[in-house]
Structure 1
Amino acid sequence: MDTPHDPLAGLRPAADHRDPRASALLRPFSPGTPLQDRPVLLGLPYDGGIPSRPGARFGPKALREALGSYGSFDGQRELGEVVDMGDLTLAAMNGAVTHARIEEASRNLFAAGARPIFIGGDHGLTGSLIRGLAAARPGLRLALVTIDAHLDVREYDNEATLSSGTPFRRALETPILTGARTAMIGIRYLANSRYYLSWAREQGVHLYTVDDVAERGAVAVAREALSRIMKDADALYLSVDIDAADAAVAPGVSAVSVGGLSSREMIDVVRTVSAEPRLLGADLMELSPPHDENARTAKLTARLLLEVLSVRPS
């Protein structure tokens, strides 16, 4: 049989080995791939718990595509490879089943010694990610930094009623985390109720508003937060809701609003927190491509992923 002729043979641009793209850092997982102490990427294409604008289920795909906008040299070294586990198969219409699968996947990755970065997706899934970590490492004293406009500590009735507003209520219900080891950066007024602000303060959570960041600087706020929560912690987890960024730089999120962090402030906080040697996992959530203009939000999210990777051991 004749080999089909490619009418575009020789017309496609060849990859330039002198300018490698960050997308080339992703290496598909295959059985037998060692995971111990390695960065691992896992997509969570689910947005069933988002009450506002659906679309975050397409976030993992958009983030991977946006990596091609960046190089792999961070100014000092070439970034190391990332094991890409692909996207988890999730039950789009069954929140309880989805959260159970997320918790199991998280438990398995942390038990294998991986340092996962989860990309979503519904931020409500973070509660199940931390529950999976608690199941894998029950004696852990975990510290948590969230970058988010919202507290996300809403009450819920059962697993079927979980939403993007419940993850940190669920995280604080685990035995590995306390309010004193939790810091929330980027909190906006007129986006959170008096009731939940009071509840978070009662738990001892360290709250930093967008005004704190504007007045004191992103790096200074992040360093203070770490100094407070890492005193007796064994490990650190970072959770980023892209809606912490202002609508001007991140229109493609589930809960878009004005008055948020600038892209530079987002980068500075993520870089500062990720430089903590005890960081063992992170997530980047709520990128919503159907609402993204010129992939601006996807590119910001991809940049934040690269910031996490740039300060980790090669």
Structure 2
Amino acid sequence: MIPVIGTCFRRALNKVNARKYCTKLNQPLSANEMPRPGGIPTFMRLPHQNTAEGLDVGIIGIPMDIGTSNRPGTRFGPRQIRTESSLLRACNATTGDQPFSKLQIADLGDIPFTMYDIKQAMKDIKAFTSKVLAQNCTPVTMGGDHTITYPLLQAMKEKYGPIGLVHVDAHADCSDTMMDCKIAHGTPFRRAVEEGLLDCSRVVQIGLRGTTYATNEYQWGKDQGFRIVLAEECWHGTLVPLMDDVRKQMGTSPVYVSLDIDALDPSFAPGTGTPEIAGLTTIQMLEIIRGLKGLNLIGGDLVEVSPPYDTTGNTALTAANMLFELICILSHQK
């Protein structure tokens, strides 16, 4: 007798065994089986799993906003993204991708971390992520504020060495300190460079804009070798040519993608902690994500969704769609 899917994963020692015991891959719960307001609110109402055994991709939440500098609320981001993701369907009608027919995907729940000590929280996040990577499972993480990318990159470095980075954001997040603190949502990529987590010749930051404390705000990143693409360079145009160049820059070595929802103009994504006018459109964001196809992607995150400022739910819904698009890209690697 073939065991049910939950039993299968408990018995599986690795992906090979998991596939031997299973007769089918996990599928999102369809609205034809359960009304969208119903069901357990996992991402796209996928099965929940306590470990990454047998998985190709694990969806992870980090409900954290202790590194936030302006509006709080990103601690509620993963929960709201999961809720809004019930609208999504398993097939990408535009690209034809059906990732759940190729990948074994489950929601791994939220990382338990110490929310009263940001340094300990970084250790908690890194340790959890390292366990996921040890199972050869690709983590797709929902934040939470952008501080979370720092320990995620630490875990990636231990497995892959220095990696490439596609960072889409209104802010460079390369500050040395924020109010004399080294760890906050404006510092993760400064810490990443200092610790040798990144291959700086393969780092691109897209969508930077807004007011700054100095005219040379982005110079530090340029000095490290980052490619900086300001939002003004993206206005009124397609980003397909840009992503052609990015793929050449990244080559075949491992690449991580970090998507900050505030890269989008606030008219598309108002529910975020540090909004900046004149940002990217949702169409341009999809061009960026779809332009990752062909890269050696080893993981990604989407951060800074703040539901208290997302009165319509559209910011979280947009985030859910962006994560689905990223999963579609990952399906081409397996």
**1:234 counterpart letter in structure 2:** S
Q: Secondary structure at the match of 2:218?
A: helix
Q: Tell me the CA shift for residue 223 of structure 1.
A: 2.1
Cα root mean square deviation, aligned = 2.6
**1:27 counterpart letter in structure 2:** P
Q: Tell me the CA shift for residue 193 of structure 1.
A: 3.6
Structure 1 residue aligned with 2:84, among 62, 66, 70?
66
CA distance, structure 2, for counterparts of residue 107 and residue 248 of structure 1: 37
Task: Indicate yes or no: 2:305 matched with 1:305.
Answer: no
Q: Tell me the CA shift for residue 32 of structure 1.
A: 7.6
Q: Secondary structure at the match of 2:190?
A: helix
Corresponding residue for residue 268 of structure 2: 249
Corresponding residue for residue 53 of structure 2: 33
Q: Tell me the CA shift for residue 82 of structure 1.
A: 2.0
Q: Secondary structure at the match of 1:33?
A: coil
CA distance, structure 1, for counterparts of residue 214 and residue 131 of structure 2: 36
Q: Secondary structure at the match of 1:144?
A: strand
Corresponding residue for residue 221 of structure 2: 200
**1:125 counterpart letter in structure 2:** I
Q: Tell me the CA shift for residue 69 of structure 1.
A: 1.7
Q: Tell me the CA shift for residue 207 of structure 1.
A: 0.5
Decide whether aligned partners of structure 1 residues 171 and 159 sit closer, same or farther in structure 2, where only a CA change above 3 A counts. farther
Task: Provide, for residues 273-308 of structure 1, a one-character-per-residue CA deviation record: whole Å limited to 9, x for no partner.
Answer: 2x1340010000000000002101001100100100
Q: Tell me the CA shift for residue 92 of structure 1.
A: 1.8
Corresponding residue for residue 296 of structure 1: 314
Q: How many pairs were matched up?
A: 294
Corresponding residue for residue 201 of structure 2: 180
CA distance, structure 1, for counterparts of residue 130 and residue 178 of structure 2: 24
Structure 1 residue aligned with 2:290, among 256, 268, 271?
271
Decide whether aligned partners of structure 1 residues 178 and 262 sit closer, same or farther in structure 2, where only a CA change above 3 A counts. same
Q: Tell me the CA shift for residue 187 of structure 1.
A: 0.9
**2:254 counterpart letter in structure 1:** A
Farther off after superposition, 156-165 or 113-122: 156-165
Task: Indicate yes or no: 2:115 matched with 1:92.
Answer: yes
Q: Tell me the CA shift for residue 312 of structure 1.
A: 2.3
Corresponding residue for residue 78 of structure 1: 98
**1:264 counterpart letter in structure 2:** I
Corresponding residue for residue 254 of structure 2: 235
Corresponding residue for residue 104 of structure 1: 127
Task: Indicate yes or no: 2:67 matched with 1:49.
Answer: yes
**2:267 counterpart letter in structure 1:** A
Contact preservation (8 Å) 1:178, 1:203? no
Q: Secondary structure at the match of 2:47?
A: strand
Farther off after superposition, 65-74 or 42-51: 65-74
Q: Tell me the CA shift for residue 18 of structure 1.
A: 11
CA distance, structure 1, for counterparts of residue 52 and residue 227 of structure 2: 41
Q: Tell me the CA shift for residue 31 of structure 1.
A: 5.0
Decide whether aligned partners of structure 1 residues 108 and 297 sit closer, same or farther in structure 2, where only a CA change above 3 A counts. same
Task: Indicate yes or no: 2:165 matched with 1:144.
Answer: yes
Unaligned runs of 5+ in 1: 1-13
Q: Tell me the CA shift for residue 136 of structure 1.
A: 2.8
Give TM-score scaled by structure 1 length: 0.86
Corresponding residue for residue 140 of structure 2: 117
Q: Tell me the CA shift for residue 211 of structure 1.
A: 1.7
